[in-house]
Amino acid sequence: MSLEFTVATPDEQALLDAVGSGPVHAILLRGNPPITRRLIETARSLKIIAKHGAGVDSVDLQAARDAGVAVTTAGEAGAAAVAELALSMIMALGRDLPRLTDRMRNSHWDRGGYQGRELAGRTLGIIGLGHIGGRLAVTAHALGMRVIAARPGGTPRTGELPVTAVTFEQLLETADIVSLHCPATPETTGLIDTTAIGRMKAGALLINTARSALVDEAAVAEALRSGKLAGAAFDTFSEEPVNPNNPLLKAPNIILTPHIASQTSAAVERTGLQTADNIIAALRGTEAGPAS
């Protein structure tokens, strides 16, 4: 059965109406419409919820497990693209490009007194060392950075990566740049709040290409205004499209992109193919993956 919607993000009722009109065996999920327990239990023929991307925070995973419905992601397919955007944000903030651009627009010519900072020798702290965090770690190390990593609630497996595992608290206190690459879970919601920012080094940079729920946006905006944070970059937001009243929009020295970290032509093609493969495998009764 083929489903078609005229809105970018259908609500629960639209999805319920769709699955109630006939047997549905697979849901291909792009973006974050709510896949609730009620929806899963209504779609009695459902075998798989296949995410066209990495995050599954909009899916009731326990309800899927209870119903025997597979939930898969294709995050590895977009890992290179997301890691590249995070690195480009780090580079741009490290050389003060947003601030210098604003000053140029206001007729300031800072060549005489400006001195930037090289990435080599600085410490990058990665929170969440999966496919994306691992790729970023390798690239940052090649640029001469010291790379440390933490996992909320424990220490990450570093394997062969050029990374030193530390606690979350140690990472905040040590890193010159903090880059978020962990999923949104009850344990990570609000991970970077006023207390966490208070532990960070004065003048640190914060990069979020993961999930908006990880960060208290108002706390970050205030830290940018006070100078506690020297810069920040966000690709995800608490409301999308971004709410005009979001405090990050008026914060200084910030880079904002509209949730496009994995939106390169190559990554979109790889993600689509991986998602389709996951659905085919589930419908055939073979292993689909990677699973969440």
| Cβ 146 vs Cβ 95: under 8 Å | no
- 275 shares a domain with 211: no
- 169 shares a domain with 191: yes
- 272 shares a domain with 249: no
- 125 shares a domain with 246: yes
- Answer whether 0.85 is exceeded by the pTM: yes
**Where do we find the tokens 């903090």?**
178
- 269 shares a domain with 227: no
- 192 shares a domain with 154: yes
pLDDT of the residue at 290 = 57
Pairwise pLDDT comparison (133 vs 30), residue with the higher score: 133
Domain of residue 27: give its range.
12-76+264-284
By percentage, how much of the chain surpasses pLDDT 70? Answer: 94
- 279 shares a domain with 251: no
Choose, from 76, 173, 222, 240, the residue flagged as catalytic.
240
- Per the domain annotation, does 274 fall within a domain? yes
pLDDT of the residue at 292 = 44
Cis upstream peptide for 290 (omega within 30°): yes
Known catalytic membership, residue 211: yes
- Per the domain annotation, does 99 fall within a domain? no
User: What total number of domains does the chain contain?
Assistant: 2
- 123 shares a domain with 62: no
Band of pLDDT at residue 8, cut at 50, 70 and 90: low
Integer Cα distance of 157 and 131 in angstroms: 12
- Per the domain annotation, does 289 fall within a domain? no
- Per the domain annotation, does 97 fall within a domain? no
pLDDT single digits (tens) 140-173? 999 999 999 999 888 898 999 999 999 999 999 9
Known catalytic membership, residue 38: no
The candidate with the shortest Cα–Cα distance to 64, out of 76, 77, 46, 52, is: 46
| Cβ 34 vs Cβ 64: under 8 Å | no
- Per the domain annotation, does 180 fall within a domain? yes
- 22 shares a domain with 136: no
- Per the domain annotation, does 103 fall within a domain? no
- 237 shares a domain with 124: yes
pLDDT of the residue at 285 = 85
Calculate mean pLDDT across residues 67-90.
Answer: 94
Choose, from 38, 95, 117, 259, the residue flagged as catalytic.
259
pLDDT > 90? residue 33: no
- 223 shares a domain with 129: yes
- Per the domain annotation, does 148 fall within a domain? yes
pLDDT single digits (tens) 39-48? 999 999 999 9
Choose, from 122, 181, 211, 270, the residue flagged as catalytic.
211
**CATH code of residue 229:** 3.40.50.720
Known catalytic membership, residue 44: no
pLDDT > 60? residue 204: yes
Pairwise pLDDT comparison (199 vs 23), residue with the higher score: 199
pLDDT of the residue at 1 = 46
Which DSSP string do the residues of the chain spell out, in sequence order?
-----SSSS--HHHHHHHHTTS---EEEE-S---B-HHHHHH-TT--EEEESSS--TTB-HHHHHHHT-EEE--GGGGHHHHHHHHHHHHHHHHTTHHHHHHHHHTT---TTT-----STT-EEEEE--SHHHHHHHHHHHHTT-EEEEEBTTB----TTSS-EE--HHHHHHH-SEEEE-----TTTTT-BSHHHHHHSPTTEEEEE-S-GGGB-HHHHHHHHHHTSEEEEEES--SSSSPPTT-GGGG-SSEEE--S-TT-SHHHHHHHHHHHHHHHHHHHHTS---SB-
| Cβ 229 vs Cβ 197: under 8 Å | yes
- 160 shares a domain with 47: no
| Average predicted confidence (pLDDT) for the chain | 92
Calculate mean pLDDT across residues 28-46.
Answer: 87
- Per the domain annotation, does 243 fall within a domain? yes
Which DSSP string do the residues of 102-136 spell out, in sequence order?
HHHHTT---TTT-----STT-EEEEE--SHHHHHH
